[in-house]
Amino acid sequence: MAKEITPRAEDYSKWYNDIVKKAGLAESSAVRGCMVIKPLGFGIWENMKSVLDGMFKETGHVNAYFPLFIPKSFLSKEADHVEGFAKECAVVTHHRLMNNPDGPGVVVDPTAKLEEELIVRPTSETIIWNTYKDWISSYRDLPLLINQWANVVRWEMRTRPFLRTAEFLWQEGHTAHATQAEAIEEARMIHDLYAKFAEEYMAMPVIQGAKTESERFAGAIDTFTIEALMQDGKALQAGTSHFLGQNFAKAFDVKFATTENKEEYVWATSWGVSTRLVGGLIMTHSDDEGLVIPPKLAPTQVVIIPIPKPDPEIMEHADRIAAELKSYGVRVKIDKDDKKRPGFKFAQYEMEGVPVRIGIGKRDLANNIVEVARRDTKTKESIALDKVGEHVRDLMDIIQNNLLARAKAFRTEHTTTVDTYEEFKEVLAGKGGFIIAHWDGTAETEAKIKEETKASIRCISNDAVEEEGKCVYSGKPSSRRVVFAKAY
Per CB under 8 A, residues contacting a copy of itself are 27, 29-31, 34-39, 42-43, 46, 62-76, 82, 86-99, 104-106, 108, 117-120, 127, 130-131, 134, 140, 146, 150-151, 153, 155, 167, 169, 339
Spatial CA neighbour of 241 closest among 170, 276, 190:
190
Spatial CA neighbour of 459 closest among 204, 228, 293:
228
**CB closer to a copy of itself, 75 vs 418:** 75
Report the nearest approach of a copy of itself to the CB of residue 248 (Å).
15
The residues, any chain, with a CB within 8 Å of residue 482's CB and separated by 6 or more, are: 209, 212, 436, 437, 438, 439, 457, 459, 460, 461, 464
Report the nearest approach of a copy of itself to the CB of residue 420 (Å).
42
Give start and end residues of each alpha helix (H) in 228-377. 247-251, 276-285, 312-327, 342-352, 362-366
Quote the DSSP letter at residue 297: G
Measured CA to CA in angstroms, residue 252 lies from 115, 172, 444 at distances of: 21, 19, 33
Report the nearest approach of a copy of itself to the CB of residue 412 (Å).
36
C-alpha dihedral over 398, 402, 403, 405, to 10 degrees? Answer: 140
C-alpha dihedral over 433, 434, 437, 439, to 10 degrees? Answer: 110
**CB closer to a copy of itself, 87 vs 158:** 87
Report the nearest approach of a copy of itself to the CB of residue 73 (Å).
6
Report the nearest approach of a copy of itself to the CB of residue 201 (Å).
19
Report the nearest approach of a copy of itself to the CB of residue 339 (Å).
8
Report the nearest approach of a copy of itself to the CB of residue 83 (Å).
9
- Cross-sheet strand order for the sheet of 206-210: 62-63, 144-153, 167-177, 267-274, 235-245, 222-229, 206-210, 456-461, 481-485, 434-438, 415-417
**CB closer to a copy of itself, 150 vs 383:** 150
The residues, any chain, with a CB within 8 Å of residue 413's CB and separated by 6 or more, are: 431, 433
